[in-house]
Structure 1
C-alpha cells in the first residue's frame, strides 16, 4: 500500500508544484504613466535643457521605442483605454472627467488589473485616477467610494481621485477619503456654495500661483482650481507633497508583496498642472516649474528602481514607462512654462501636443525594461498603451474572449524586443472623449479626420485656439514627420483606403480580430 500511497501523494502534489513554479516565473509588472510628458521632455529622447538620469538609465537598460503611443491626447480617455484595452471613443462619458463623475469603467469590465489578478497577481493603482468614482449619482465623498478601482480588478488603491487642477485635494485609500473628519464633511459641487466663498476671481490677490484661464474657482494651498468644495480640511494634502506620497505608498506596496507576483500601476501626476513640485526640486532647471516637475518625475522613477534593486527584484520585474498624452505649456496657470521654454522642444520633432491628434499629442516616451530578458536597444515598432492588456494577458497565459479588450493587440514580442517580432500595423488616435476627431496611422501614412471641421491650434504654446480645418488631411510621416504638408490631393487613393479603414474600425466596434 505504501508505494500506492506515495504515487497518489505525488500525483496530488505535482500540479500544485507546477502551479507554484509557473506563478513564480511570472514577472512582477510596474507600469509608470507620466502625465502630460512629451516625446522631447526627457534627455534620452533628445532633451538638452534638462537631465533625466533615472529615466535615461531605464532606457539604457531596456528598450526605447521611437513609435510608442498612447491612444488619446488627453488623460481620461488614455487611462480608460490602457486599462480596458478598448478605444475610449467607443465608451460613454470618456472625455476629461469632472470632479463628481461617477465611475466610468463599470464593475465586471475586464481590465489589465482583473486579467493579472486572475493570473495570481496582487494588484494596486497608486496616484492619479481621473476615471470617476461611485455609482450613477457620483461619489459619496463622506461614505464609501464605490464602484472604483477595487471593483475592476485592483486589490488596493491610493488615489488622487480626479486630477489636481480639479477639486477636491484629498487622498482616497481603497473606498474612503483618507483622514476625513466626520465633524467636517466634504462637499463637492459645480456651483459656488455661498456668496462669500473665496475663489480665484474674488481673491486673486492671495494666490501663490495665478491662473491664466479656467482655473479660478475654489482656492486650496494658494492655488485656485476647477470646481467648488468645502470641508474635509483634515484630509486635504499639500501639492508639494504629492509625488513623495506616491513613492512612499508604492515602496510600501512593493515591500509588502515582494515574495509574490505583483502589478503596480504607478500613475504619476507630474507634469500636469498645477505644477507645484516639492521645494527641493524648485529651481532645479531653467525651465520653471514645468521643468522642475520633470526632474521630480525622474526622481520618482529612480526611487522605484532603487527599491527593486534593494529587494533584488529587478531581474524579475517588467517595467513599462509611458505617458498619458503629449505636452502642453500654458494649461491654465501662469507658471512660467512659456516664458522659460528657451530651446526646449517638449514634443521633440513633432507638431502639436495635448488635445491634438498630431504626432505630438500621442507619440510619447515609451520604454520597457526587464533585466536579463529584454536586450537593451532601440525599437521602431509601433506599440501603444492600449496594447498592454492583451500583451500582458499573453505573458501570463490568460485568455481573452472576443468581447474583452476589443482594440488591444498582443505585441508582447515587440515589447520584449524579440527578434523579428512586430508591433501593430495600424493605430487610431483621438483627442478627447468621442467628439469625432480621429487620426489613423497605417505604416507611415497618417490620416486626420475632423467631423467638426475644427481642430486645436497645432502649436504647443497655444493649443486652446480652435482653427478651421478640412474634414480630412493626409500626411506622409517618412517625408514629413512634423505633419506640415497635407498630401491628400496628391494621393487620393491612399486617402480613400484609409478613410474606409477608419470608418470600418469605428463602425465594427472593435479592431482586434475575433477568434
Structure 2
C-alpha cells in the first residue's frame, strides 16, 4: 500500500469592488466562529496562503533593494511580518525545487532530480506524501493554483496528491502545449498569458470563500516571472525596469489583492502568509549582487526572497538572518496543524516555528546544493560557511576546465557575494563540510537504491 493510501469547479470570485466586498460580508461570521473563544487571538491551526513565484531574483522587490521596481504591497507585508535575508529554494531549477517544497525532501531523494517536460512519463510518485495530504488529515481544505510542474500524466495531477481543487498549468509557460486545467480536465488550450496572474488571484479568492468553516491551505504557484514574460496592458510601462519590472509590479498588485481579501473576510489574523520563489533569476531579474543565477549553485541561484506574516505570531518588522529553506515548510506546517509527519519518511528540513516567531538563534540542518540535473551534490552551507566541491559544467567537451580552483570555501557572513576563496586558511572546515557532502550524497543514493 502506498503512503498516499494512508491519507484519509467553482467559479472564480471577483477580486475587487462590490463582488469582493459582498463575498467578504458573507464570510466574516465564519471567520469569527473559527476564532471561537480565543478573544480575537490567532487560532492554533492557521489558514496557510503560500505564494510561490517562478524565477524571481533575490533583489527584485524594493524591500530587498530594488530601485527600478516598486513593490509597495510586498514591502508592507515585510513590515508586518518577518523578512528573511538567508532563505533558500529547494533547488536551482523548477521541478526539483517544487518537489522539495511539497515533500520536504530534496529533489533527488523525492525521485525528481531535474526539470520535467511535457513528454516525460515520470512525475510525483504515489509514495511521496506531500503538504496537502498531511493538512487534509487535519481537516484543511486544499487548493493548488498555477504552475504544477511535477508530472503531466493523470496520476501526477494535483487532485491525485491531496489537493481538493486545481486550476492552472501542468508545467512551465515556455513549454507546449501550454494549457489551463481545472482539476483533471483541460479548460483552455489557447491561453492569454497576460491574464494569468489576475486569474490565479481570482481563483485564490474563490478558494478562501469555498473553505467555509474549514482552515485552508492555498498554494498559489505563479507562472511569472518565468519567460516568456507577459503582463496586462494596465501594467505596461509601470516600472523603470522594462517588461520584467512591469511583471513584478503586477505581481505586487495582486499579492495586495490577496492580502486585502483576507482582511475583508476577517481572515487576516488567522492566516499564515508566506511569499517566496522557486529559484533565482534566469535571463532577467536581479540577484541582489549575489554571485550566479538560476542553474548555478552560487548564492544567486538558490537564495531567494522570503517573507512570512501571521499577525500576533510573527513579529512585525523583524529581519532574520538565520538560514531557512522551503524544505522547512512541510514540518513547520504540520506542527502548526497539530500533526506529525510520517516517521518512516526521511525529511530534509526543520520545524522553524521558533524562527518564524522571532527567535534570534536556532539550529538548522545544512543547506545542500545539487546541480541542475540532480546528478551531483556540488555545495553545502553549514552556518556561516559554504563549500563548493563541483561547479556547473559550461562546456561538455571540456568539463575539467570548469572545475578549476576547487574546492571553494566562503564565509557568507563576511562575503555573501562569494568573492574570496578562503579554503587554504580553513582546512579543518573544508574537511568537515566535505564529509557532510559525502555523507548526505551517500544517504540519498542509499535510499533510492532501497526503493528500487
Query: Could you say whether these structures have the same fold, taking a TM-score greater than 0.5 normalized by the shorter chain as the test?
Result: yes
Q: Indicate the residue corresponding to 2:449 in structure 1.
A: none
Which range moves more in the overlay, 486-495 or 431-440? 431-440
Residue in structure 2 matching 1:120, options 130, 139, 146: 139
Larger Rg: 1
Q: Indicate the residue corresponding to 1:224 in structure 2.
A: none
Q: Indicate the residue corresponding to 1:259 in structure 2.
A: 213
Residue in structure 1 matching 2:347, options 403, 406, 413: 406
User: If each structure's helix is expressed as a fraction of its own residues, which one has the higher value?
Assistant: 2
Residue in structure 1 matching 2:172, options 163, 180, 183: 163
* Number of residue pairs matched by the alignment: 404
Hey, what's the Cα distance between the residues in 1 that align with 2:387 and 2:152? 35
Is 1:443 equivalent to 2:383 in the alignment?
yes
Contact 2:322 2:360 in 1 (8 A): no
Q: Indicate the residue corresponding to 1:74 in structure 2.
A: 93
Q: Indicate the residue corresponding to 1:483 in structure 2.
A: 418
Query: Displacement of 1:403 after TM fit?
Result: 2.9
Q: Indicate the residue corresponding to 1:472 in structure 2.
A: 407
Contact 1:258 1:311 in 2 (8 A): no
Query: Displacement of 1:265 after TM fit?
Result: 0.6
Query: Displacement of 1:374 after TM fit?
Result: 1.3
Rate the CA distance shift 1:481–1:301 in 2: closer, same or farther, 3 A.
same
Secondary structure of 2:425's partner?
A: coil
Which digits, 9 at most, give the CA deviation of each residue in 1:365-387, with x for residues without a partner? 11110012211111111110011
Q: Indicate the residue corresponding to 1:394 in structure 2.
A: 335
Kindly report which structure 2 residues correspond to 1:39-78, keeping only aligned pairs within 5 A, or say none. 39-78=58-97
Which digits, 9 at most, give the CA deviation of each residue in 1:432-464, with x for residues without a partner? 2312142200111101121xx54459xxxxxxx
Query: Displacement of 1:469 after TM fit?
Result: 3.5
Rate the CA distance shift 1:456–1:309 in 2: closer, same or farther, 3 A.
farther
Rate the CA distance shift 1:424–1:256 in 2: closer, same or farther, 3 A.
same
Hey, what's the Cα distance between the residues in 1 that align with 2:152 and 2:37? 37
Kindly report which structure 2 residues correspond to 1:327-406, keeping only aligned pairs within 5 A, or say none. 327-329=281-283, 337=284, 346-376=286-316, 377-406=318-347
Hey, what's the Cα distance between the residues in 1 that align with 2:140 and 2:445? 28
Hey, what's the Cα distance between the residues in 2 that align with 1:122 and 1:277? 30
Query: Displacement of 1:478 after TM fit?
Result: 2.2
Residue in structure 1 matching 2:253, options 299, 304, 322: 299
Is 1:107 equivalent to 2:126 in the alignment?
yes
Q: What RMSD, in angstroms, separates the aligned Cα atoms of the two structures?
A: 2.4
Contact 1:110 1:405 in 2 (8 A): no
Secondary structure of 2:171's partner?
A: coil
Query: Displacement of 1:510 after TM fit?
Result: 9.6
Name structure 1 gaps, 5 residues minimum: 1-16, 135-144, 180-234, 330-336, 338-344, 458-465
Hey, what's the Cα distance between the residues in 1 that align with 2:93 and 2:211? 32
Secondary structure of 2:230's partner?
A: coil
Q: Hey, which bits of structure 1, 4+ residues long, moved more than 3 A?
A: 20-25, 453-457, 466-471
Kindly report which structure 2 residues correspond to 1:265-280, keeping only aligned pairs within 5 A, or say none. 265-280=219-234
Secondary structure of 1:153's partner?
A: coil
Rate the CA distance shift 1:83–1:93 in 2: closer, same or farther, 3 A.
closer
Query: Displacement of 1:349 after TM fit?
Result: 2.8
Hey, what's the Cα distance between the residues in 2 that align with 1:379 and 1:157? 33
Q: Indicate the residue corresponding to 1:28 in structure 2.
A: 47
Which digits, 9 at most, give the CA deviation of each residue in 1:224-273, with x for residues without a partner? xxxxxxxxxxx321111111111111111111114320000110111110
Hey, what's the Cα distance between the residues in 1 that align with 2:53 and 2:386? 25
Is 1:239 equivalent to 2:193 in the alignment?
yes
Contact 1:368 1:416 in 2 (8 A): no
Q: Indicate the residue corresponding to 1:289 in structure 2.
A: 243
Which range moves more in the overlay, 157-166 or 472-481? 472-481
Hey, what's the Cα distance between the residues in 2 that align with 1:275 and 1:473? 35
Query: Displacement of 1:25 after TM fit?
Result: 3.7
Query: Displacement of 1:489 after TM fit?
Result: 2.1
Contact 2:320 2:360 in 1 (8 A): no
Hey, what's the Cα distance between the residues in 1 that align with 2:122 and 2:254? 28
Name structure 2 gaps, 5 residues minimum: 1-32, 396-400, 447-452
